[in-house]
Structure 1
Amino acid sequence: MLSTFSSSISALLDARAEGYTLPAGLYTREDVFGADLDVFYRNHWIYIGLECDVPEPGDATVIDIGSTSLIVLRDDDDNIQVVHNVCRHRGSRLLDAGPTVISKLVCPYHQWTYELSGELVYAPHMGTNFDKSCRNLKTVNFKSIGGLIYVCLSDTPPQDIANLEAVMEERLAPYDIRNAKVAYQTDVIEKGNWKLTIENNRECYHCAANHPELCVSFVEQDFGYDADTLSQEDRAEAEEYQRLYEQRIKAWEAGGYPSAPVEQLAGHATNFRTQRLIISGKGESQTADTTAASAKLLGKMSRKDLGDTHLWGHNSWNHFMGDHAVTSMVIPLSANRTLVRTKWLVHKDAIEGVDYELAKLTSVWIATTDQDGELVGRSHLGVEDPAYEPGPYSPFTEGQLDNFATWYVERMRAHGY
């Protein structure tokens, strides 16, 4: 039988109506926040970073998710490792948050020392009968998919991550994200629940009024419209664009660049969607003038006209273009605070001031992320208001939000709520 704690959350899940936003408590309550961390950040695959965050042996970085702290590192054999940031002696944190360079992992408390593989090699004053092999660092289930690192903190991770792996290894291969480099990173704390952050990212209903920089490179028709309300001229324009897009998809795929939409959403454990979209204007990149920000293209790319390959999951969104990529991950901090960490990637040999200018590379998504943060904050204030009641999603522009809310309820149910 479900506990009172679970039953109260269950009642909120019961109250969610198809086609409508979630009940307020699912965004605002602390017990729901705790359940969300457990279900979606411990028992599902989440994106936490990149292989190129740790490009050389000895490079390490710490990512905190709730009370869990993880170390992503590159070991002496040039392999990626993900281990818990917990000494096997008395639990001390080994490394502080953020990036660092190490030759071994040495606990600052009592100097227990681990190889970069996680093997315990030195534990002073523990006696001759002490078995070090039983005290190696705890490892984490992880996968590098095209250079993007996904982890699952559960001992029984969802197996359908294999579908994401199969789709995205092929799609990301030309960009060679494993051998890119991080040109810039921002951390933005949004004053809202993580689900509001994801919902805001899943639609562009709000884009025309709020994202002038981003809309320069986006094609409005890609994000849905009510054809019945369009003028004859606008309807003809939308239909012509659809024909153009279908032709472009065929041409891209004929050239060896998978482009058609692939999605695994409601009805599955691992949530993702990918599609290659046309970039408007000059068609090269998501920059202020839609031309490439970097003269040195990513990986094996030789063309600037391959649009924007986007990929999103339940805690991330990513855009891969010929010249650069933008990746964002979402980490809940509290019921009403969410970290959005965004990274801009360029070819590993690209030189700032020679191959690219940082302002051109970053300006569009810096502005967009700041704008989104304000919108999420306004949304959270609204769902906290006693006057809030779930509102209807637009069937034309917000269908993916309905899909996300449906998936959210399904996965909560699957974990006993």
Structure 2
Amino acid sequence: MTQNDLLNISYASLDIARDKMTELLSERKPNYSLPRPLYNDPLMFRIDVEEIFQKEWLFVGMTSEIPSKGDYFTVEIAQNPVLIVRDADGSVNAFHNTCRHRGSRICLEHRGKVANLVCPYHQWTYNTKGNLLFAGTEMGDDFDMSQHKLRAVHCKTAGGFIFICLGENPPESDFDEFLATLEEYMEPYDVENTKLAVESNMYEKANWKLVLENNRECYHCSGSHPELLNTLLEWDDTNDPRASEEFLTHYQRMASEWDAEKIPHEHKSFGTRNRLVRMPLKEGTEVMTIDGNQGCEKLLGRIKNRQLGSLRILHLPNSWNHMQSDHFIVFRVLPISAQESLVTTKWFVHKDALEGQDYDPERLRQVWDATNDQDRILGEENQRGINSLAYQPGPYSQTFEFGVINFVDWYSDRVLNNLGEK
């Protein structure tokens, strides 16, 4: 069998898988979990990568991770290495981290600082705008450097968040409206004057959708997350159908304090993809530490009130976030394989805060390290059960699991829409 024969089989298999994906999503039962192949089949996973992670806007990091010219970090999205770099004019640029000569990765470290971007293979050199500056005389007199710039990746920033899209035509819809609201809600935190305090990376042997589904409900919290529930209230947002009168009264009391400080807090949704809402923590607690007391001596931005609760920011398909008075936490999920995902958690504090004096990294991360590991175990056991021949899609609770329903509906709609554009 020739290489071309193998390729033809591969392409044919993908076409069959796309048709099967369309069938499974079109015929799925509403308010039920997805059919088994969508959680564990390698071909279905490849379609997820192509139709979601190579076409939708993805959260990758924060602008304060690259505060100065030449600062960069890298990220790999399903075998697509990407480079995020701060330009001399202060803008944030994103490029495919692959040399235009013979394709080698250019920046090999996770983060660093450069004057120019130099490929380690043959020293082709680019500036932070992606322009090719040097390719050597070996390329000949007729070689046109202007035709060999780094390939740019669509990049947008708002409120300190960095989003990229690998697709040629990024989806717009209400994304810019979300970014404008994100800018408004993040203004009090002055993200440019924060710094990364600590970062964790956790590999979870579960499909990326199971990671997101687990995040979108707190139905499991009381039995699994004792550290988190020291401070976190189980309600998902102010529109949670389960919210008690006691909670709503607590929220209104805190909201009056936030209004006095001109801190945005009202629920804002943009379809089911993006949502912002400020939620109070348990009475008497300040931030998500093990005892609910401060995590950092220095408050963020213009914030004065330590009981700011948590500004919860959701961005599908790969991020949820908690913004608090003295530190904030961002989460990013990236697919690795049909049954493995990478969950990255980052904690940020005021840029002038001194480690060991103003904050203790271990104290900052204690609650979410425990919670992430608990969720990892839940996700991996969920994956093992779904792999069983006995698995069939099961019903979601429309009250306790409405966030999961929203995610699965969004995912299904986007895949069907993107497949339909082929």
Task: Normalising by structure 1, report the TM-score.
Answer: 0.92
Distance 1:195 1:254 in 2: 40
- Name the residue aligned to 2:415: 412
Distance 2:156 2:235 in 1: 35
Distance 1:19 1:114 in 2: 50
* Alignment-mate amino acid for residue 244 of structure 1: H
- Name the residue aligned to 2:255: 249
Task: Normalising by structure 2, report the TM-score.
Answer: 0.91
* Alignment-mate amino acid for residue 265 of structure 1: G
**For structure 1, which segment, 244-253 or 74-83, has the greater mean C-alpha deviation from structure 2 after superposition?**
244-253
Distance 2:282 2:256 in 1: 18
Distance 1:246 1:20 in 2: 34
SS in 1 for 2:227: helix
SS in 2 for 1:280: coil
Distance 1:100 1:357 in 2: 24
SS in 1 for 2:46: helix
Distance 1:62 1:3 in 2: 32
SS in 2 for 1:55: coil
Pick the aligned partner of 2:274 from 249, 256, 272: 272
Percent sequence identity over matched residues?
38
8 Å CA contact 1:145–1:168 kept in 2: the answer is yes
SS in 2 for 1:220: coil
- Name the residue aligned to 1:101: 113
**For structure 1, which segment, 213-222 or 195-204, has the greater mean C-alpha deviation from structure 2 after superposition?**
213-222
Distance 1:23 1:90 in 2: 41
Pick the aligned partner of 2:267 from 261, 266, 273: 261
Distance 1:255 1:55 in 2: 28
* Alignment-mate amino acid for residue 118 of structure 1: G
Does residue 154 in structure 1 map to residue 167 in structure 2? yes
* Alignment-mate amino acid for residue 75 of structure 1: D
Cα offset, 1:281, TM superposition: 3.9
Does residue 359 in structure 1 map to residue 362 in structure 2? yes
Does residue 64 in structure 1 map to residue 76 in structure 2? yes
8 Å CA contact 1:281–1:290 kept in 2: the answer is no
Q: CA-to-partner distance for each residue in 1:242-268, whole Å, 9 max, x for gaps?
A: 2332343354235422212111234xx
- Name the residue aligned to 2:371: 368
* Alignment-mate amino acid for residue 388 of structure 1: Y
Structure 1 residues 73 and 272, CA, compared in 2 at 3 Å: closer, same or farther? Answer: same
- Name the residue aligned to 1:131: 144
Does residue 379 in structure 1 map to residue 382 in structure 2? yes
Structure 1 residues 103 and 10, CA, compared in 2 at 3 Å: closer, same or farther? Answer: same
- Name the residue aligned to 1:290: 292
* Alignment-mate amino acid for residue 262 of structure 2: G
Q: CA-to-partner distance for each residue in 1:15-39, whole Å, 9 max, x for gaps?
A: 4211111111111111111111111
Distance 2:145 2:130 in 1: 11
- Name the residue aligned to 2:22: 10
Unmatched 5+ stretches in structure 2: 1-13
8 Å CA contact 1:281–1:289 kept in 2: the answer is no
Pick the aligned partner of 2:212 from 186, 190, 198: 198
SS in 2 for 1:318: strand
Q: CA-to-partner distance for each residue in 1:45-92, whole Å, 9 max, x for gaps?
A: 000111122122222211100121111112233332211111111211
Pick the aligned partner of 1:163 from 157, 177, 197: 177
Pick the aligned partner of 2:230 from 213, 216, 220: 216
* Alignment-mate amino acid for residue 234 of structure 2: E
8 Å CA contact 2:217–2:236 kept in 1: the answer is no
- Name the residue aligned to 1:317: 320
Pick the aligned partner of 2:46 from 24, 27, 34: 34
SS in 2 for 1:212: coil
8 Å CA contact 1:329–1:342 kept in 2: the answer is yes
Q: RMSD between aligned alpha carbons?
A: 1.8
8 Å CA contact 1:319–1:327 kept in 2: the answer is yes
Cα offset, 1:282, TM superposition: 2.2
